[in-house]
Structure 1
Amino acid sequence: MRVETLRRGLLLQALPGCTDAMLRVLLRHYGGLEALWQSDYRGWSALGVPLAVAEAFERSRHSGLAVDSRVNVEQQLDQLDALSVHLLSLGDATYPPLLATIIDPPPMLYVRGDATCLLLPQLAVVGSRHASSAGLRAARELSAAAVSAGLTITSGLALGIDAAAHQAALDAGGTSVAVMATGIEQIYPRRHQHLAELVATQGCLVTEFPPGTQPLRGNFPRRNRIISGLSLGVLVVEAALPSGTLITAGTALEQGREVFTLPWSIYHPGGQGCLRLLRDGATQVQTLEDIVQELASLVTLQRDLSLAGPAPAPVQAQAQLRGDRQLLLSLIGDGTVAVDELVAHSQLPLPLVISLLSELELESRVKKGPGGYTQLSSE
């Protein structure tokens, strides 16, 4: 069944014109990949999916082949099967519940190693690829201490701080999650092949990209949102100005995650980004206790989400969902409203609010901006 699930996920991702936003709406609506695969494609148009995409799905479902002849699903499948990769899809019970609450969760996750690690309380540890010796030491010591406190260390398998955090977690006997910006069969950078093997043995490698995906520049910000989305908080050990690490920190703040950083000297170039984060409200860290105290309540939140699991809507609940959509639109009105305000005023669960907003955005009823969601004109 694992291989068949992989095949179905690859075929869906290969559908011409099918965007991640469409897949998110479909997977949430039907409650996961298997239910989506068995669905009547003629009902997709009611969810805002173009008829051409739905018809392409039907052809692909019956033939078992990708509609796009440039995609060799059998070759991709062989690569994934050789690495014993599992596929998690949005809406499934096995999908990380904390990641599912972000605005743009990946529709599919390819996981090599122990996928249950994605359900554990995680601390993201990120920083400069050109780290100083002091930065590397801080990353190692704080990561090892976090493992001893029961946290899993999550990072991006990059040079510098990322690698130091992964290795320290493994050396301390803990688990680590490496989020990749490539297909799961391609380790980047190549010099981290051995480290990646260790992570896959003592944790897991995870990516949203199908096999064959190269390390393109635009993939790294997408990877970073998964790093922060999986985690309860993000520890920025060392960061210059400007840097990709600060993009990760900004994404974490948008997702409602806690951001922690170290108080570097003003004369340390590699710490200028950390000082900027402190100025903007990040929590200063000198010991692990500074992190654990802030994350205590979030650990409880993650546990509750894991116990609740996904809540796909049954057919008989569609009328209620239509009412919930109208409620959100009325709350947005003519202004711009943040997600947390919509949750507070609607008294709807956060995952449901995000799911409904995704549907409305796909239908061009609302638009996401810096301050939240704005309702678009129906004219």
Structure 2
Amino acid sequence: MSELKYWIAFNRVRRVGRARVAMLEAHFGSLSEAWGASSAQLQQAGLDRRTAATAARSRSRIDPDAEMERVQQAGVTALTWHDDGYPPRLKEIYDKPPVLYVKGEILPEDERSLAVVGTRRPTAYGREVARQVTSDLAQNGLTIVSGLAKGVDGIVHRAALEAGARTIAVMGSGLDVMYPREHGELASQIAENGAVVTEFPLGTRPDSQNFPRRNRIISGMSLGTLVAEAPESSGALLTARHALEQDREVFCIPGSILAPNSRGGNRLIRDSAAKLVTCADDIIEELNLTTIEYQIELAAFFPEDEAQAAVLKYVTFDPIHIDEIIRNSSLASSTVSGALTMMELRGLIRQVGGMNYVRLRESSQEYQTAQGEHG
């Protein structure tokens, strides 16, 4: 905690981003040591004269303790790239943010996530395909990542919430500066069922240059990026470009060749920059999300008892009602209910509404059985 306040403080210093934070930490051993350094010492660490002078002067107007208190009072969690809670996939990208501010909670199951982006002015077709495909992805246990903007972003966040799934919104402002204003209630719902995140300090206005920057975080947190509908000028194409640079998959739902709103997405497909998809299953299959290889990554983290193992046999990647599980397993309703609750807490399954459950990943016991059968 004592070190975190200096990360938050440096995050308010102009011209000190990923590369310079890494430089300072490598030279001084910690950002707390770097905070007390003179301009000359900062230059010795590798900062240019202008940035070193700016950083040194910042100490007179930035109080690390006050910044830490401000974050805490706002109900925000600040994560550095050294923290366990920092999204692992985001750590992999070149330009990862030194500090990520979070309202809500980022969970291990959010590793199974897909970015869905598109135009702020979708057509009726764009709205429907974005909603339908996102809903199907969410019901298959994927966390939906988007940018909380008007149009497609808002549609896909709501589709995920309506499916009972997790969703993550990446903002282009401070978490205390809602943009657009009409998405305030939506942001609150997302924080309760996922997370609202940003790299920008509290109080940061939604300036236009912030949104292209935040797009790399949308793609960086995700296994891949789906472009639902986008004209040639859409910022969604920037997110797709970031995904390609990050060696992540890019998918696109095709649109009419006569529709201006489909030209950007269609061009991605034409240029082989995106894979054409028409449904959620195309994406799930392309990402191999149902294969045993993917499940191995997280299986060891979820031990299970006898009741959970018995119940899990009847929960697949297709929704099944609790009453059917009780009938099939011949277990007491209280036993089944308790096992489902524990497995949902552990991230093995998810309730998708109406007491229906779907599986998110294989169990460690099943993996061991599969290994024995194929060994």
Establish whether TM, by shorter chain, passes 0.5: yes
Whether 1:209 aligns to 2:200 is: yes
Between the aligned partners of 2:114 and 2:155, the Cα distance in structure 1 is: 14
Aligned runs of 1:289-328 on 2, under 5 Å?
289-296=281-288, 304=297
SS, match of residue 115 in structure 1: coil
Between the aligned partners of 1:154 and 1:141, the Cα distance in structure 2 is: 15
Q: Which residue of 1 aligns with 2:336?
A: none
Between the aligned partners of 2:128 and 2:295, the Cα distance in structure 1 is: 29
Aligned runs of 1:280-295 on 2, under 5 Å?
280-281=271-272, 282-295=274-287
Larger deviation: 88-97 or 122-131?
88-97
Q: Which residue of 2 aligns with 1:360?
A: none
Q: Which residue of 1 aligns with 2:322?
A: none
Between the aligned partners of 1:47 and 1:295, the Cα distance in structure 2 is: 42
Normalized per residue, the structure richer in helix is 1
Cα distance change of structure 1 residues 38 and 247 upon mapping to structure 2, 3 Å threshold: closer
Q: Which residue of 1 aligns with 2:18?
A: 20
Aligned runs of 1:88-237 on 2, under 5 Å?
88-116=79-107, 119-237=110-228
Which of 242, 246, 252 is 2:243 aligned to? Answer: 252
Q: Would you say the 8 A contact 1:113–1:200 is kept in 2?
A: yes
- What is the identity, as a one-letter code, of the residue corresponding to 1:278? I
Shift of 1:89: 0.7
Between the aligned partners of 1:153 and 1:12, the Cα distance in structure 2 is: 31
Cα distance change of structure 1 residues 119 and 88 upon mapping to structure 2, 3 Å threshold: farther
Which stretches of structure 1, 4 residues or more, deviate above 6 A after TM superposition? 40-46, 51-57
- What is the identity, as a one-letter code, of the residue corresponding to 1:274? G
Q: Which gives a bigger RCO, structure 1 or 2 (Cα 8 Å, sep 6+)?
A: 1
Q: Would you say the 8 A contact 2:175–2:197 is kept in 1?
A: yes
Larger deviation: 85-94 or 285-294?
85-94
Q: Which residue of 2 aligns with 1:36?
A: 30
Q: Would you say the 8 A contact 1:117–1:175 is kept in 2?
A: no
Q: Would you say the 8 A contact 1:126–1:162 is kept in 2?
A: yes
Q: Which residue of 1 aligns with 2:46?
A: 48
Deviation by residue 1:281-337 (Cα, 9 ceiling, x = unmatched): 111111111101111279967985999xxxxxxxxxxxxxxxxxxxxxxxxxxxxxx
Q: Which residue of 2 aligns with 1:81?
A: 72
SS, match of residue 296 in structure 1: coil
Between the aligned partners of 1:210 and 1:47, the Cα distance in structure 2 is: 25
Q: Would you say the 8 A contact 1:232–1:298 is kept in 2?
A: no
Q: Would you say the 8 A contact 1:144–1:168 is kept in 2?
A: yes
Shift of 1:164: 0.5
Cα distance change of structure 1 residues 140 and 297 upon mapping to structure 2, 3 Å threshold: closer
SS, match of residue 112 in structure 1: strand
- What is the identity, as a one-letter code, of the residue corresponding to 1:23? V
- What is the identity, as a one-letter code, of the residue corresponding to 1:22? R
- What is the identity, as a one-letter code, of the residue corresponding to 1:135? G
Between the aligned partners of 1:80 and 1:92, the Cα distance in structure 2 is: 17
Larger deviation: 42-51 or 298-307?
298-307
Shift of 1:241: 1.5
Between the aligned partners of 1:56 and 1:278, the Cα distance in structure 2 is: 45
Deviation by residue 1:132-190 (Cα, 9 ceiling, x = unmatched): 12211111111111112121000000001000000010111100000001011111000
Cα distance change of structure 1 residues 142 and 47 upon mapping to structure 2, 3 Å threshold: farther
Q: Which has the larger radius of gyration?
A: 2
Shift of 1:16: 6.1
Q: Would you say the 8 A contact 2:119–2:231 is kept in 1?
A: yes
Between the aligned partners of 2:184 and 2:285, the Cα distance in structure 1 is: 35
Which of 257, 279, 283 is 2:270 aligned to? Answer: 279
Q: Would you say the 8 A contact 1:278–1:284 is kept in 2?
A: yes
Q: Which residue of 2 aligns with 1:316?
A: none
Cα distance change of structure 1 residues 117 and 86 upon mapping to structure 2, 3 Å threshold: farther
Shift of 1:26: 4.4
- What is the identity, as a one-letter code, of the residue corresponding to 2:170? V
Cα distance change of structure 1 residues 25 and 231 upon mapping to structure 2, 3 Å threshold: farther
Cα distance change of structure 1 residues 118 and 84 upon mapping to structure 2, 3 Å threshold: farther
Shift of 1:82: 2.8
- What is the identity, as a one-letter code, of the residue corresponding to 2:180? P
Q: How many pairs were matched up?
A: 295
Q: Which residue of 2 aligns with 1:351?
A: none
Gapped runs of 5+ residues in structure 2?
301-375
Between the aligned partners of 2:286 and 2:269, the Cα distance in structure 1 is: 15
Identity %: 39
Deviation by residue 1:320-378 (Cα, 9 ceiling, x = unmatched): xxxxxxxxxxxxxxxxxxxxxxxxxxxxxxxxxxxxxxxxxxxxxxxxxxxxxxxxxxx
Shift of 1:10: 2.2
Shift of 1:72: 6.3
Shift of 1:124: 0.3
Cα distance change of structure 1 residues 37 and 290 upon mapping to structure 2, 3 Å threshold: same
Between the aligned partners of 2:172 and 2:295, the Cα distance in structure 1 is: 25
Cα distance change of structure 1 residues 168 and 16 upon mapping to structure 2, 3 Å threshold: closer
SS, match of residue 115 in structure 2: strand
